[in-house]
Structure 1
Amino acid sequence: MWVKVRLFALIEDVRGSYWFVPALLALLGFGAGLALVYLDALLGDAWLGRVEWFYGSRPEGARSLLSTVAGSTITVAGVVFSITLAAVTYASGQYGPRLLSNFVRDRGNQVTLGVFIGTFLYCLVVLRTIRSAEETSADTAGAVREAFVPHLAMFGALALAILSIGVLIYFVHHVTDGIHINNVIARIGRGLLSDIEKASDHDGDDGTDAALVPPGSGTPIPSQKTGYVDALDEDALLAIAAEHDLFLTVLAIPGDFVHRGRPLLLVTATGSADLHACGDLFSISRKRSSLQDLRFAIDELVELAARALSPGVNDPFTAIACIDWLGAALTDLAELPRRSTVVRDKEGRPRLLLRRLSFGDYLNSAIGQLRPYAARDPNAAAHLARTLEVVGKSIRDNENHALLRAELDRVRAEM
C-alpha cells in the first residue's frame, strides 16, 4: 500500500535533482557509441562505394577528429557547469536560497550538461575501436589485423558535435533568460496555476460531515522521521480503514512539519491489528515541495515580494509582479470545489478525518503574510488593493467574497 507514496517521493527527488538527466544522456551517448560500432562491424565499408557523397575516414584522421570532439566537449561541459553554479549562486543571493530548487531542476541546464557529457563518452567508445592495418593484437598472436574505421559512428560523432554547438548557443541564451526576475516569477506562477488546475479535478461536496466526526481520540501512529510532509496517500489510508473497520484522524497534511515520535494520525480501531504501517503512507522529506502543497508556490512568491520590498533591495516592481501572479492564483483558488473533512468508504461509512485547506487559508498565506511588507511601500500597497478589488469581482461564492473583502479592508487600513 505504500508504493504510491514512495513513488511520489522518488519522482519529487528526481525532479529536484541535477544528476538524473545528465546521467541519462551520458548513458545514451555511451550506448549509442556501442550500437553504431556494432552496426559498422556488421555492415563493413562496402556501402560507402554506393553512396558517393559519403566519404570514408582513415584511421589517423578518425582518431584526430574524435579526439578533438571529445576534448572540446568535456572542456565546454566544465564551463557549462561553472556558469550554472555562478547563476545558482547569483539567484541564491538575489532571490532567496529556497528558490534554488527551481534552478537546479531546470531542464535546459540539465540537458545541456548531459549532451556534452554524452558526446564525450560517445567519442571515447568509438575512439577505442579504431585500428590501422599496421597494428597487431595479442588475441591474434601478434598477427596483423585488418584496418577498421566505424564510418557510421564517425558521422554520428560529427552530428553530435554539431548538436553540441547548437546546445551551447541555446544555453547561453537560456541562462541569461532564466535569471531574469520576471521569468523566475512567471515560472513559479505558472506552476502554481497548473497545480490549482489539477486540484480542481477532485469532486467537491458540501463539507457538512464535520458533525459526524467522533472526538479526537485513538491510538497514535508516530512519525519515524523528522521533516516536512510532502505527500500523503489518502486512497491507501481509506482502503486500510475500510479493510480493518477503522476511523483515522490525520494530524499532518502536506506542508506540515513533523518531529520523530510525534503522532501522524490517530487510529480508532475495533480490533487488535498492527497498524503502524499506516505511517509509511506519509512521505517525509528534508524540505517542502509543491507535490501536494499549494501553499509552497504561494510562499515562494511571497518570499520574492518580501525580499524585493526590504530596505536593502527596494524593488517594488518585482513585488508588483508577484502580486499579479498571486491575484491570478487567488481567482482560481476561489473556484476550487469544497471537499469535506470526512472521507467515506463505498458503503458511506466515515473513515478518515483530515484538515482541508480552505480559500481563507490560501488567502492568509498569499495576502496575510505579504500585507505587512506591502504596507510600507505606497506603490506595492496600492497595487495590492487594486488586485484584490479585481479578484473580488470574479468571485461568485459569497463566503469567499466576504473573506476577500475583509482582507482588502485590512490592506487599506494599513496603507
Structure 2
Amino acid sequence: MRAFVQQYYQRVIASYWFIPSLMAVGAAVLAIVLVEIDARFDIKSFGDGAFFFATQPDGARAILSAIGGSMIGVAGTVFSVTMAAVVFASGSFGPRLLTNFMNDRGNQVTLGVFVATFVYCMLVLRSVQDGSDSDVYGTMFVPDIAVFAAIILAVASIGVLIFFIHHVPSTIHISNVIAGIGKTLIRHIEANFPEPRERSAAADAVEARHWQIPACFRNESDPMAATVPYAEIACDRAGYLQVVDRQTLIEAARNADIVVRLNCRTGEFVHAGRILFHAWPSERVSDETRQKLLASIATGNERTPSDDPVFLIDELVEIAARALSPGINDPFTAITCLDWLTAAMAALAGHEFPDPLHDDDDGRLRVIDRHRSFDDYLELSFGHVRQYAASDMIAAERFLKSLAEIVPACRNDAQLAAIRFQMQAFMAPARAAHAGAALATIDAAGARLDASLRHPRGRLPPPGPAVPAAVALGTGEPAGR
C-alpha cells in the first residue's frame, strides 16, 4: 500500500493542478476571512488614510471585476505559453524531458498566483452590496480591507508575470536544462550513496551477515547448493517499475520468515509473468505472502526520476546523442552533457554504494537488493555516449578528458579498470572515424588519460614533455596500426 501512496505522491507533485488548486483554496479562505473582518470591525480603526477605502459599491465592483477578469485572461496566456515551451523543449531535446518541465515549480506557482487572484476577486465581489432590495441584507456593504488586499494581489501578480517572462526562456535554454538534470542526479547520489568514511563499517557489516545469505542466492555457491529450491514470484501487471517499497518487503518477509531477493530495479519495464522476486525457503511462501510482496511495487506508464538515477543519466545521454546526430551536429551541447556526467560519475566514485542486505528489527536478513556497480553506471553514461562522441573530434577529445577527470576520484583498482575499459573501447571507433590531425588530437588526449591511469595515485602526470600522440595506448606501437 505504501508503494502506491508514494507513487501517487510523486504524480501529484509533478502535476500542474496540485499547487494551483492549493493556492486557489488558500485564496478562498483569505477572501472569507477578510470579508468577515470587514463586517465585524470598524475600518476606522485601521487609520484615516483614504487609500484603504473603495468609496462606493460601484467602485469596489469595478476594481474587483477588472482585476479578476484580467487575471483569468493572463492565466490562460500563461498556460498557453507554458505548453508551447514544453512542446518546443520536448521536441528539441527529447520527449522524456517533459517530466522535468512538468515538475517545474516556477510554472506551477505562476499559474497558481493568477488563478488564486481570480478566485479571491470573485468571492470578494460577491460580498459587495449597494443596499438595494435585491441584496441579502438590504444595507450597503463595501469590504474595504478585502478590496485593498485584491489590489495587493494584483500588484504581486504583475511581479510574478515579470518573473514568468524571464523564467520561460531561461528554462528552455539548453545549458539550464542540462544543468537541472545534472544537479538532480548529483543530489540523488549524495542522498542515496553513503559517504566514504562509512566504507569500512559497511564492508564489515556485509561480511558479518554474509553467512545469513541462503546458499541458493550466493554467486559463489557450489553446484549442489545451487539446486536448493526457491519460490519465484511473478509480476501481475505491466508497466515501468516506479516504486519499490523495501519496508513492505521486509515486513512481508519477516511475517513469513523468508529471505527475498529482488530480481528487478526501478525504471525497468515489467510485464505479467516476469519474475520479480525469489523467496527462500519456498515452502513458506503462501498466496498471501505473494500478494504482500507484489504490493510493495508500483508501476506506471513512464519512468520517473524520483527513485531512478539511470533515467536522469539516459536524459543526458539522449541530449548528447541528438546533439551529435548529423542533422544537428552540435558538439558543444554534447560537451555540456559530458561535463555533468563527469561530475556525477566523480561523485559516484567518491561515495560508497548502498548495502544490498536489509535486516528486520531483530537483525535477521530479510531482503537482498539488486544494486548496480560503478562499472554499470559508467557504461550507462559514458558507454552509451561512446559511439556518438567517437565520430566527432571535439566531442572525442572531451570524452577522454572527462574520463581523466574522474580518475582522481576513484578509490580502488576496480574503478580505474572500468575507466580503462571505457578508454580502450572508445579508441577503436575513434581511430576508425578520424585521420590526420584530428586523429593526432584524439591520440594525444588518450595518451594523457593513459598516463593518469598509470600514475600511482591516479592523478594527472606533472607538467613535462608531451606524450607522443603516435604511440598507441599501452601497446608501444604506432597509432593506426
TM-score by length of 1: 0.92
Gaps of 5+ in 2: 218-228, 431-481
Moved more, 315-324 or 203-212: 203-212
* 8 A Cα contact 1:224 1:261, kept in partner: yes
* 8 A Cα contact 2:239 2:300, kept in partner: yes
Aligned residue pairs, count: 408
**Counterpart residue number, 1:256:** 268
**Counterpart residue number, 2:381:** 366
Correspondent of 1:172 among 150, 159, 165: 165
**Counterpart residue number, 1:123:** 121
Moved more, 389-398 or 333-342: 333-342
**Counterpart residue number, 1:67:** 65
Counterpart residue type for residue 389 of structure 1: A
**Counterpart residue number, 1:136:** 133
Moved more, 189-198 or 40-49: 40-49
Question: 1 or 2 for the larger relative contact order (CA 8 Å, sep ≥6)?
Answer: 1
**Counterpart residue number, 1:232:** 244
Q: Provide the C-alpha distance between the structure 2 equivalents of 1:321 and 1:259, rounded to a whole number of angstroms.
A: 36
Q: Provide the C-alpha distance between the structure 2 equivalents of 1:147 and 1:18, rounded to a whole number of angstroms.
A: 40
* 8 A Cα contact 1:210 1:341, kept in partner: no
Shift of 1:45: 3.5
**Counterpart residue number, 2:461:** none
SS at match of 1:221: strand
Gaps of 5+ in 1: none
Q: Provide the C-alpha distance between the structure 2 equivalents of 1:46 and 1:37, rounded to a whole number of angstroms.
A: 15
Q: Provide the C-alpha distance between the structure 2 equivalents of 1:393 and 1:139, rounded to a whole number of angstroms.
A: 77
Deviations for 1:367-415, whole angstroms, at most 9, x for unmatched residues? 1111011111111011010110111122122211111122122222322
Shift of 1:316: 0.5
1:197-208 equivalences under 5 Å are: 197-201=190-194, 205-206=202-203
Shift of 1:211: 9.5
Correspondent of 2:284 among 239, 254, 271: 271
Q: Provide the C-alpha distance between the structure 1 equivalents of 2:56 and 2:107, rounded to a whole number of angstroms.
A: 36
Q: Provide the C-alpha distance between the structure 2 equivalents of 1:42 and 1:340, rounded to a whole number of angstroms.
A: 62
Shift of 1:353: 2.4
Counterpart residue type for residue 284 of structure 2: G
* 8 A Cα contact 1:199 1:336, kept in partner: no
Deviations for 1:235-289, whole angstroms, at most 9, x for unmatched residues? 3312322332101121112121110243321222453642021111112121111
Q: Provide the C-alpha distance between the structure 2 equivalents of 1:191 and 1:351, rounded to a whole number of angstroms.
A: 31
Q: Provide the C-alpha distance between the structure 2 equivalents of 1:171 and 1:139, rounded to a whole number of angstroms.
A: 41
* 8 A Cα contact 1:255 1:295, kept in partner: yes
Task: Calculate percent identity across the aligned residue pairs.
Answer: 39
Q: Indicate how the Cα distance of structure 1 residues 26 and 53 shifts in structure 2: closer, same or farther if over 3 A, else same.
A: closer
SS at match of 1:351: strand
**Counterpart residue number, 2:151:** 158
Moved more, 49-58 or 163-172: 49-58
Shift of 1:40: 1.0
Correspondent of 1:223 among 235, 239, 243: 235
Shift of 1:348: 4.8
* 8 A Cα contact 1:62 1:149, kept in partner: yes
**Counterpart residue number, 2:28:** 30
RMSD: 2.1
Q: Provide the C-alpha distance between the structure 2 equivalents of 1:272 and 1:322, rounded to a whole number of angstroms.
A: 46
* 8 A Cα contact 2:75 2:115, kept in partner: yes
Moved more, 190-199 or 389-398: 389-398
Q: Provide the C-alpha distance between the structure 2 equivalents of 1:52 and 1:88, rounded to a whole number of angstroms.
A: 46
Q: Provide the C-alpha distance between the structure 2 equivalents of 1:354 and 1:20, rounded to a whole number of angstroms.
A: 34
1:1-150 equivalences under 5 Å are: 2-3=1-2, 5-47=3-45, 50-51=48-49, 54-133=52-131, 135-137=132-134, 145-150=138-143
Correspondent of 2:398 among 377, 383, 390: 383
Counterpart residue type for residue 261 of structure 2: T
* 8 A Cα contact 1:225 1:259, kept in partner: yes
Counterpart residue type for residue 34 of structure 1: I
* 8 A Cα contact 1:59 1:148, kept in partner: yes
Is 1:194 the counterpart of 2:195? The answer is: no
Shift of 1:349: 3.8
**Counterpart residue number, 1:303:** 318
Deviations for 1:201-247, whole angstroms, at most 9, x for unmatched residues? 48653355399443264333332321111221223312322332101
Counterpart residue type for residue 25 of structure 2: L
Q: Provide the C-alpha distance between the structure 1 equivalents of 2:386 and 2:285, rounded to a whole number of angstroms.
A: 51
Counterpart residue type for residue 194 of structure 1: R
* 8 A Cα contact 2:99 2:304, kept in partner: no
Q: Provide the C-alpha distance between the structure 2 equivalents of 1:7 and 1:201, rounded to a whole number of angstroms.
A: 26
1:338-357 equivalences under 5 Å are: 338-357=353-372
Q: Indicate how the Cα distance of structure 1 residues 221 and 89 shifts in structure 2: closer, same or farther if over 3 A, else same.
A: same
Counterpart residue type for residue 265 of structure 2: I
**Counterpart residue number, 2:479:** none
**Counterpart residue number, 1:287:** 302
Q: Provide the C-alpha distance between the structure 1 equivalents of 2:47 and 2:256, rounded to a whole number of angstroms.
A: 74
Shift of 1:152: 0.7
* 8 A Cα contact 2:52 2:148, kept in partner: no
Shift of 1:138: 7.4
TM-score by length of 2: 0.80
Moved more, 348-357 or 310-319: 348-357
SS at match of 1:370: helix
Q: Indicate how the Cα distance of structure 1 residues 42 and 224 shifts in structure 2: closer, same or farther if over 3 A, else same.
A: farther
Q: Indicate how the Cα distance of structure 1 residues 368 and 49 shifts in structure 2: closer, same or farther if over 3 A, else same.
A: closer
Moved more, 184-193 or 26-35: 26-35
* 8 A Cα contact 1:210 1:340, kept in partner: no
**Counterpart residue number, 1:245:** 257
Moved more, 24-33 or 87-96: 24-33
Q: Indicate how the Cα distance of structure 1 residues 332 and 102 shifts in structure 2: closer, same or farther if over 3 A, else same.
A: same
* 8 A Cα contact 1:219 1:267, kept in partner: yes
Q: Indicate how the Cα distance of structure 1 residues 360 and 211 shifts in structure 2: closer, same or farther if over 3 A, else same.
A: farther
Moved more, 254-263 or 156-165: 254-263
Q: Provide the C-alpha distance between the structure 1 equivalents of 2:47 and 2:363, rounded to a whole number of angstroms.
A: 76
Q: Provide the C-alpha distance between the structure 2 equivalents of 1:297 and 1:280, rounded to a whole number of angstroms.
A: 26
SS at match of 1:369: helix
Moved more, 387-396 or 167-176: 387-396
